[in-house]
């Protein structure tokens, strides 16, 4: 067998084009090491959601070598510095933030313990991060005049999913990725099960050494052809439907573009609200065991208000879970074809970025690929398990009992064993750095603390020294940076308007 160097990506959604763009820059930077081709269907659409990201996206865009300003213009992007969770703990609880930033900590991090020993009259996140205040004030995480991707504060983006894929397509094609628009109808396999070629409706036969399945939930190569296993997460994550709308800015948020994602818990799931420059993306993620599609759409429209009249609502079905062997034979499933965890923490695009990077790191140039695929699968499996626990935590710590759905998600059998083990341990000690061995993880103990304390998680009695029941101390650096931000950071909508050269958000 010759060295693997021809790659065929099937599918041109965010997964296909992130993989193509990243692989092309990572492997073909100095000299061409792989020949990349992507085929996508014009008749089978993209999923068209997936508009909130996490900060790792910036490293990916930088690695691909694109201009941040151009990217933002082409994809109607805005900044995101946190997720705000409303009504998750109890209805009308005031909400809490999971910000990206946190003040530098000493090796022994006492912030959580100190807060638990206080009267908790200030939300935990406000005692360790400046971004809840910046979010409330509608401030941009970037200062005017700063360089592309440059800011002392971590941030990600909200962006138009279709325009993002189109933008990466244009860049990739200009830089040498071959592109076909055609429907894949047949897959040819060798006797050992390897895929040898895909056939298209238009009569093409596309051969490759390595195939990347980015066909979304269809999972045409990995699922339908190679019949790889699927581990269902439905026991722990009950939501399996979404209804999504694109809502123009009108009188709703005049002149504002929120610099954070809002996740509001509704009766049988939650609603996302993602502000782009020229519209908002909103959607209701819910459980079909408890709510019909019609009821969900009615609730979403009612929550949004009269301005959604006449706007199209898209209904989406999904299965939560993952393929434990996303790299099987000579085919790697990336994106929805390889798995999906519901979008509460915007991890879909992150998992794609992560898979693309990990695949490049383990790219099979030689004849023996098994050690590489084995390790790739282990690494991806850990990412899914990690994210499953983190999302599961948002539901099972709720105190809501207003519907069957919220009563159900708190039940013992709805909590993963590994999350239960974490809870059991954290009853005796607030989360800290050394609780996690896995250096590749997305969510550190800091992220866990934002959610745990936002949801009023309690340590066992007597575990901490007695507190004085005084208001939590907000450290001087947090207070000073918030004050400085008020004068030095532009309003988010103003920064975007200036960057784009036109008024946004109104
Ligand atoms: C309700 C919901 C909300 C989400 N929100 C977020 C979020 O906020 N943040 C986030 O990071 N992620 C989110 N995600 C996940 C995110 O949308 C996906 O991870 C991302 O869009 C990647 O999708 P994809 O490219 O795998 O699939 P798709 O976008 O479905 O693309 C599939 C591609 O395969 C092609 N294709 C299919 N069959 C064939 C065929 N036979 N021949 C040729 N081509 C074919 C299609 O034409 C298309 O180009 C969300 C997902 C859902 C369901």
Residue with the smallest CA separation from ligand 1 atom 37 is: 215
Nearest of 332, 324, 326, 325 to residue 195 by alpha carbon = 332
* Spacing, Cα 354 to ligand 1 middle (Å): 16
Nearest of 233, 272, 232 to residue 389 by alpha carbon = 233
Could you tell me the residue ranges of all domains in the chain?
6-51+160-230+321-378, 85-154+387-484, 243-317
- Confidence at residue 31, expressed as pLDDT on a 0 to 100 scale: 84
Q: Is 329 a catalytic residue?
A: no
Q: Work out the average pLDDT over 319-328.
A: 98
Assign 328 a pLDDT band (cuts: 50, 70, 90). very high
CA distance 115 to 439: 27
Q: Which residues of 234-270 are buried (b: 16+ CB within 10 A; e: fewer)?
A: eebbbbbbbbbbbbebeeebeebbbbbbbbbbbbbbb
Please give the mean pLDDT across all residues of the chain. 95
Residue 1 pLDDT > 50, yes or no? Answer: no
CATH domain 6-51+160-230+321-378 topology: FAD/NAD(P)-binding domain (3.50.50)
- Confidence at residue 468, expressed as pLDDT on a 0 to 100 scale: 83
Q: Can you tell me which atom of ligand 1 is nearest the CA of 346?
A: 9
Strand-pair category, 231-232 with 35-40: unpaired
8 A C-beta contact, residue 340 and residue 332: no
Pocket mutation for ligand 1, best pick of 17, 43, 49, 352 (most atoms within 8 Å of C-beta): 49
Tens digits of per-residue pLDDT, 382-417? 999 999 999 999 999 999 999 999 999 999 999 999
pTM, rounded to two decimals: 0.97
Q: Which residues, including other chains, have CB under 8 Å from residue 19's CB and lie 6 or more apart?
A: 9, 212, 214, 334, 335, 352, 355, 356, 359
Assign 3 a pLDDT band (cuts: 50, 70, 90). low
8 A C-beta contact, residue 221 and residue 337: yes
* Spacing, Cα 349 to ligand 1 middle (Å): 9
Phi and psi at 18, nearest 5°, equal -65, -45
Tens digits of per-residue pLDDT, 433-482? 999 998 999 999 999 999 999 999 999 999 999 888 899 999 999 999 99
DSSP bridge pairs for 332: 212, 327
- Range in 15-19, 449-453, 479-483, 497-501 the model is least confident about: 497-501
Radius of gyration of the chain, Cα coordinates, nearest whole angstrom: 23
Tens digits of per-residue pLDDT, 329-375? 999 999 999 999 999 999 999 999 999 999 999 999 998 899 999 99
Residue 115 pLDDT > 70, yes or no? Answer: yes
- Confidence at residue 96, expressed as pLDDT on a 0 to 100 scale: 98
* Spacing, Cα 46 to ligand 1 middle (Å): 5
Residue with the smallest CA separation from ligand 1 atom 14 is: 50
- Confidence at residue 347, expressed as pLDDT on a 0 to 100 scale: 98
Could you count the other beta carbons within 10 Å of the beta carbon of residue 199? 16
Residue with the smallest CA separation from ligand 1 atom 1 is: 242
- Confidence at residue 464, expressed as pLDDT on a 0 to 100 scale: 93
Tens digits of per-residue pLDDT, 73-85? 999 999 999 999 9
Residue with the smallest CA separation from ligand 1 atom 19 is: 348
Of the chain, the percentage scoring pLDDT greater than 70 comes to 98
Q: Which residues of 168-185 are buried (b: 16+ CB within 10 A; e: fewer)?
A: bbebbbeeebebbebebe
CA distance 328 to 232: 18
- Confidence at residue 254, expressed as pLDDT on a 0 to 100 scale: 57
Could you count the other beta carbons within 10 Å of the beta carbon of residue 106? 7
Q: Which residues line ligand 1 (CB under 6 A)?
A: 10-16, 39-41, 44, 46-47, 49-53, 161, 183-184, 214-216, 218, 220, 242, 283, 316, 318, 335-337, 343, 346, 348-349, 352
* Spacing, Cα 11 to ligand 1 middle (Å): 9
* Spacing, Cα 49 to ligand 1 middle (Å): 7
Annotated active-site residue in 73, 74, 80, 271: 80
- Confidence at residue 500, expressed as pLDDT on a 0 to 100 scale: 86
Q: Work out the average pLDDT over 303-330.
A: 95
């Amino acid at each position: 067998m010759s060295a693997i160097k021809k790659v065929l990506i099937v599918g041109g959604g965010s997964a296909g084009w992130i993989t193509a763009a990243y692989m092309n820059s990572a492997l073909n930077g100095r000299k061409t090491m792989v020949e990349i081709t992507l085929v996508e269907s014009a008749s089978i659409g993209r999923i068209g959601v997936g508009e909130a990201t996490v900060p790792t996206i910036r490293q990916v865009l930088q690695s691909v070598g694109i201009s941040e300003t151009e990217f933002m213009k082409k994809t109607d992007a805005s900044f995101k510095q946190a997720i705000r969770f409303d009504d998750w703990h109890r209805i009308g609880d005031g909400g809490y933030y999971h910000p990206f930033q946190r003040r530098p900590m000493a090796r022994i991090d006492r912030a959580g313990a100190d807060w638990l020993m206080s009267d908790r009259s200030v939300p935990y996140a406000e005692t360790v991060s400046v971004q809840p205040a910046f979010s409330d004030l509608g401030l941009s995480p970037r200062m005017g005049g700063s360089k592309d991707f440059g800011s002392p504060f971590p941030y990600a983006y909200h962006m138009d999913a279709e325009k993002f894929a189109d933008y990466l397509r244009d860049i990739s094609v200009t830089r040498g990725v071959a592109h076909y628009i055609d429907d894949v109808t047949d897959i040819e396999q060798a006797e050992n099960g390897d895929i040898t070629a895909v056939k298209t409706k238009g009569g093409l036969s596309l051969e490759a050494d390595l195939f990347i399945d980015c066909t979304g939930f269809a999972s045409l190569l990995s699922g339908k052809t190679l019949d790889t296993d699927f581990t269902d997460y439905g026991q722990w994550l009950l939501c399996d439907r979404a209804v999504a709308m694109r809502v123009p800015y009108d009188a709703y948020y005049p002149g504002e573009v929120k610099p954070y994602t809002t996740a509001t818990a509704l009766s049988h799931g939650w609603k996302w609200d993602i502000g782009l420059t020229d519209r908002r993306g909103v959607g209701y993620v819910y459980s079909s065991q408890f709510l019909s599609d019609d009821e969900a759409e009615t609730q979403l429209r009612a929550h949004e208000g009269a301005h959604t009249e006449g706007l199209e609502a898209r209904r989406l079905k999904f299965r939560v879970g993952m393929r434990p062997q996303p790299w099987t034979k000579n085919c790697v499933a990336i994106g929805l074809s390889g798995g999906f965890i519901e979008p509460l923490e915007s991890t879909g695009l992150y998992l794609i970025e992560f898979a693309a990077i990990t695949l490049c790191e383990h790219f099979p140039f030689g004849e023996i690929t098994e050690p590489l695929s084995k390790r790739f699968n282990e690494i991806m499996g850990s990412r899914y398990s990690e994210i499953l626990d983190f999302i599961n935590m948002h539901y099972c710590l709720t105190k809501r009992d207003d519907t069957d759905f919220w009563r159900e998600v708190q039940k013992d059998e709805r909590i993963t064993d590994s999350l239960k083990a974490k809870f059991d341990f954290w009853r005796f000690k607030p989360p800290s750095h050394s609780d996690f061995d896995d250096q590749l993880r997305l969510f550190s103990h800091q992220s866990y603390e934002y959610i745990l304390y936002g949801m009023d998680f309690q340590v066992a009695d007597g575990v901490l020294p007695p507190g004085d029941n005084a208001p939590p101390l907000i450290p001087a650096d947090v207070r000073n940076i918030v004050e400085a931000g008020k004068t030095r950071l532009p309003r988010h909508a103003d920064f975007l308007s200036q960057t784009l050269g036109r008024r946004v958000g109104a």
